[in-house]
Every structure is written in C-alpha cells, then in structure tokens.
C-alpha cells in the first residue's frame, strides 16, 4: 500500500489507542471508524443496532452507559452518530457490492480492556504521546490495529479488481465474549461464503503470518450471586448467613478443580463484589469467572464442577446462589482452501508463513462463533495471525504492536480476498 494510506492508518490506530473503550461502549471508536468508512464510501453501511440481534450477552448497566456517553460527548463524538449507538449496540459493518461473485467477510474487533496502560519511558505509546487517556482503559490486545487494518482492506478491495460482495465487520465486545454471537443473530453473515478473521501480535515477530489458527480454547463465562442473611456483626453474628464467606469458599475451590488428563483447562475468578458495611454480616456477594478447555468436553467438565462448587459453597454457609452461564465460544477449525489462499498471498509479500504451533493456546476468541456460523451454512472460514513483535504479552500494561504490521496485513488480506473471488 502507498505511504499516504499507511500513515493515515497508523494515525487512526494511534487515535483509537489513545481512547480505548470497553465492549458495548465503543462510542468514540465506532464514530471514528464510521467517519473513515464514509470517506471511503461503501455501498452500504450499517451502524450500531443495525448489526445486532436484540438480546445481548453481558450488556452494560445504565450507569456504565451513562458514564461512557458522557466521556464520548466530552471527546466530541458527533451527536448523530451517538444516537445510533448510545444504547450500547456498537460497531459497524461496511459492504461493497462489486458485481457477481462470492461474498467475503473480513472481521476485525475494536474493543479495549479495563486495565491501566504503562507510562514507562520504554513504552512506545507513552514515549510518543498516544498512551491511553483514561485510567483502567487500554488497548492491550491490538484491537486498535485491527480496526485500522479493516479500514485499510476496505479501501484496497474497493480499488481492486475484486468481483463479488465484500463486507468488513468492525465487531464490538470481543473481550466480553459477546459481540460475535450478537452479530450472528443479526443475519448479516448468512450469505457469507468466506470469512477471514484476523489478529496481530501473538508473541510472534513482524513479518510472520499464521494463515490458520485453530488452537483457541473453548471458553465460557459465568456469574454467581450469593444471597445470605444480614445481621449485626456485633450483636447477633449467629443470625447472619455470610455471603462473602460463601463466595470466598467458592473462589478457593473453583481454582482447585482437578486438572484433566485430556487437555489444558483454565479457571479464573476475575471479579468479585459483596457486602455493604463492616458492621453488617453481608447479605449478598457476587463473582464473575470463566472456564476454558482445549475441547468442548473439557469446558463442560469445568462447568459442571463449577456449578457444584458454587452451590455447595453457598449451602455450606446457609446461603443461596444463582449461577448464570454465558453463551461461551467453541474452538476453531480452519478450512484448507482459505488457509492456502492466505498462505499464497503472504508469500507474495515476502512474509514468512508458519503453521499454528499452538501459539494461541490459552487464548479464546468469539470469532469462532462467526466461523461456525459460516461453516454451518457451507462457507469457509479461517483465522489469520500476523506477528507484530509485541514487546510484552497480550493484556499487559506494556503491550504494544509494531505498526509495520498494519500495511503488511492490509496487503496480504486484500490479496487473499481477491484470490478467493478469482478461485470461484
């Protein structure tokens, strides 16, 4: 791609990096992307509610929405745009109608994480002035670059000889494991013949392309709410049923669910809250956690154990517990034809093509929901990784990506999209 486009995409990535937003609250992010898309001029553009089913996983609270809207307004998001997303249905889908041919979908995700970014002098975003403006908000997984890549590919495909329909999905709420399921429910992927999902970083050097990543862990999240009985902690502790003690018993034992010989498993309690004041035996407490496994069976093994641990821990302290699982995400399978198409495209740009060596083991991706949806309809799908020489691991305060990955990914994906059309 030309250097003018390249510098524009880098600028876009840095702009988004500076204003990370949590899933279902990507107000500024969606607005900024839509601005770019409108400049390119797709044939159709769907924003916010138009790309989602009504029922979402992990919707934000009214308070969270209010706070995010306020911040978006302060940042100067256009009110017209804001009106389309302010209820928390975020993201966008651009469509190019370029004659007869297959329907190809490129999916990128756009949300940030609820963690603070490093301000160390060695951290590039800090050194170059585009570190996150907000406490407890950070693009620590490269979704800022994904958004830029999506814009770049849209523009390049528009200008290319591609024949068919090309869609780029700027998906929200990936980190919540929620956005993909919602888009699947909207019907926008039903006509897709080929799906390309993309991720940068992966602890791999820039210039390396992994055309078919399958080593994602199946995942599911859950929330558990413990209800006990309040009591004065001094006068009548015996009359309470201590919800925080129940929750704490569960936390320890959840992490101690037996390992499984059939493959890798993960358990994490990532969030807890409970009680009101030190002198009241706490009546309620809640936790949010997740389980992952290399197969769906392992995930189910963990889910089953987790329920038993949660219910027994509640009972142990004379409390009740309500356990709600999310929809989760399965593991991925990549189709050879698409993997080959990406490999060829990568080779054409002097990239080093390597197979998935389990590098993603431990990670999960709700793109797998989109992949399964496309495959169920007879389409093909793959998940493409682009090394970006990230200095530290994903989800850490000093995560960053080598911006050289942006033009390379645009070029390789554009060529892969083109070759898919040709192959038909």
**Binding site for Mn(2+): what residues are annotated?**
141, 143, 175, 199, 395
SS3 196: strand
Q: How far is the CB of 286 from a copy of itself (least distance, A)?
A: 10
The answer to whether residue 312 forms part of the interface with a copy of itself (CB under 8 A) is yes
Rounded to whole angstroms, the Cα distance separating 293 from 264 reads 6
Q: Are 287 and 250 in contact (CB under 8 A)?
A: yes
Q: Would you say 46 or 301 has its CB closer to a copy of itself? A: 301
The answer to whether residue 276 forms part of the interface with a copy of itself (CB under 8 A) is yes
The answer to whether residue 331 forms part of the interface with a copy of itself (CB under 8 A) is no
β-pairing, 194-201 vs 320-325, is unpaired
How many CB atoms neighbour CB 398 within 10 A?
Answer: 17
Rounded to whole angstroms, the Cα distance separating 299 from 265 reads 8
Q: Would you say 16 or 219 has its CB closer to a copy of itself? A: 219
DSSP 243-255: HHHHHHHHHHHHH
The answer to whether residue 295 forms part of the interface with a copy of itself (CB under 8 A) is no
Stretch that binds a copy of itself, among 25-33, 35-43, 180-188, 276-284 (CB under 8 A): 276-284
Q: How far is the CB of 142 from a copy of itself (least distance, A)?
A: 12
Q: In angstroms, what CA-CA distances link 157 with 39, 104, 163, 342, 421?
A: 15, 11, 9, 15, 11
How many CB atoms neighbour CB 363 within 10 A?
Answer: 17
Please pick, from the candidates 41, 120, 187, 270, the single residue that binds a copy of itself as defined by CB under 8 A: 270
For residue 134, give the DSSP letter. S
Q: How far is the CB of 274 from a copy of itself (least distance, A)?
A: 5
Q: Would you say 72 or 329 has its CB closer to a copy of itself? A: 329
The answer to whether residue 296 forms part of the interface with a copy of itself (CB under 8 A) is no
Q: How far is the CB of 222 from a copy of itself (least distance, A)?
A: 8
Q: How far is the CB of 96 from a copy of itself (least distance, A)?
A: 33
Q: How far is the CB of 56 from a copy of itself (least distance, A)?
A: 16
Rounded to whole angstroms, the Cα distance separating 192 from 180 reads 15
Q: Are 416 and 229 in contact (CB under 8 A)?
A: no
Site string for a copy of itself, 227-266 (x = CB under 8 A): ---xxxxxxxxxxx-x-xx-xxx-xxx-xx-xxxxx-xxx
Stretch that binds a copy of itself, among 44-52, 75-83, 307-315, 416-424 (CB under 8 A): 307-315
Enumerate the known binding-site residues.
141, 143, 175, 199, 395
Give CA torsion, residues 370, 371, 373, 378, to 10 deg: 150
Which of positions 148-177 make contact with a copy of itself (CB under 8 A)? 175-177
Q: Are 207 and 351 in contact (CB under 8 A)?
A: yes
Which of positions 107-146 make contact with a copy of itself (CB under 8 A)? 113-115, 136
Q: Would you say 106 or 241 has its CB closer to a copy of itself? A: 241
The answer to whether residue 64 forms part of the interface with a copy of itself (CB under 8 A) is no
Nearest alpha-carbon partner for 173 in 16, 9, 367, 384: 367
DSSP 113-130: BSSPPP--TTSHHHHTT-
Nearest alpha-carbon partner for 209 in 393, 417, 413, 361: 413
Which of positions 369-398 make contact with a copy of itself (CB under 8 A)? 393-397
β-pairing, 44-47 vs 92-98, is antiparallel
The answer to whether residue 267 forms part of the interface with a copy of itself (CB under 8 A) is yes
Rounded to whole angstroms, the Cα distance separating 307 from 159 reads 53
Rounded to whole angstroms, the Cα distance separating 398 from 287 reads 27
Q: How far is the CB of 210 from a copy of itself (least distance, A)?
A: 15
Size of site (CB under 8 A) for a copy of itself: 81
Q: Would you say 65 or 264 has its CB closer to a copy of itself? A: 264
Q: Would you say 376 or 395 has its CB closer to a copy of itself? A: 395
Rounded to whole angstroms, the Cα distance separating 108 from 122 reads 28
Please pick, from the candidates 40, 95, 217, 371, the single residue that binds a copy of itself as defined by CB under 8 A: 217
Q: How far is the CB of 158 from a copy of itself (least distance, A)?
A: 35
């Amino acid at each position: 791609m030309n250097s003018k486009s390249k510098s524009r995409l880098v600028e876009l990535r840095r702009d988004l990096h500076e204003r990370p937003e949590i899933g279902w609250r990507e107000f500024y992010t969606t607005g900024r992307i839509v601005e770019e898309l409108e400049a390119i001029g797709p044939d159709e553009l769907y924003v916010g509610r138009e790309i989602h089913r009504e029922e979402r996983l992990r919707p934000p609270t009214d308070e969270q929405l209010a706070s995010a809207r306020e911040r978006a307004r302060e940042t100067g998001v256009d009110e017209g745009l804001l009106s389309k997303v302010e209820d928390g249905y975020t993201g966008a889908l651009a469509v190019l109608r370029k004659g007869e041919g297959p329907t190809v979908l490129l999916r990128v995700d756009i949300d940030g994480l609820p963690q603070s970014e490093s301000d160390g002098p060695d951290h590039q975003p800090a050194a170059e002035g585009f570190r996150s403006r907000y406490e407890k908000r950070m693009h620590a997984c490269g979704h800022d670059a994904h958004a830029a890549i999506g814009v770049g590919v849209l523009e390049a495909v528009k200008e290319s000889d591609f024949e068919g329909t090309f869609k780029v999905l700027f998906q929200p709420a990936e980190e919540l494991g929620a956005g993909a399921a919602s888009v699947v429910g909207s019907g926008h992927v039903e006509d897709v013949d080929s799906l390309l999902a993309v991720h940068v970083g992966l602890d791999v050097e820039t210039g390396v392309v992994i055309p078919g990543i399958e080593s994602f862990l199946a995942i599911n999240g859950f929330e558990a709410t413990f209800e006990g009985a309040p009591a004065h902690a001094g006068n009548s502790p015996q009359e309470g049923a201590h919800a925080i003690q129940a929750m704490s018993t569960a936390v320890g034992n959840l992490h101690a669910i037996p390992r499984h010989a059939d493959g890798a498993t993960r358990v994490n309690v990532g969030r807890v809250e409970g009680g009101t004041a030190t002198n009241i035996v706490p009546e309620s407490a809640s936790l949010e956690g997740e389980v992952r496994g290399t197969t769906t069976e392992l995930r189910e093994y963990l889910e089953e154990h987790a329920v038993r641990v949660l219910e027994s821990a509640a009972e142990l302290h004379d409390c009740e517990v309500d356990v709600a699982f999310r929809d989760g995400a399965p593991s991925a399978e990549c189709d050879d034809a698409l993997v080959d198409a990406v490999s060829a495209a990568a080779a054409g740009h002097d990239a080093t093509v390597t197979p998935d060596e389990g590098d993603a083991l431990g990670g999960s991706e709700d793109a797998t929901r989109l992949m399964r949806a496309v495959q169920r309809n007879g389409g093909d799908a793959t998940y493409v990784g682009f090394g970006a020489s990230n200095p530290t691991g994903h989800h850490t305060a000093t995560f960053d990506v080598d911006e050289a990955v942006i033009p390379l990914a645009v070029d390789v994906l554009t060529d892969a999209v083109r070759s898919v059309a040709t192959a038909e």
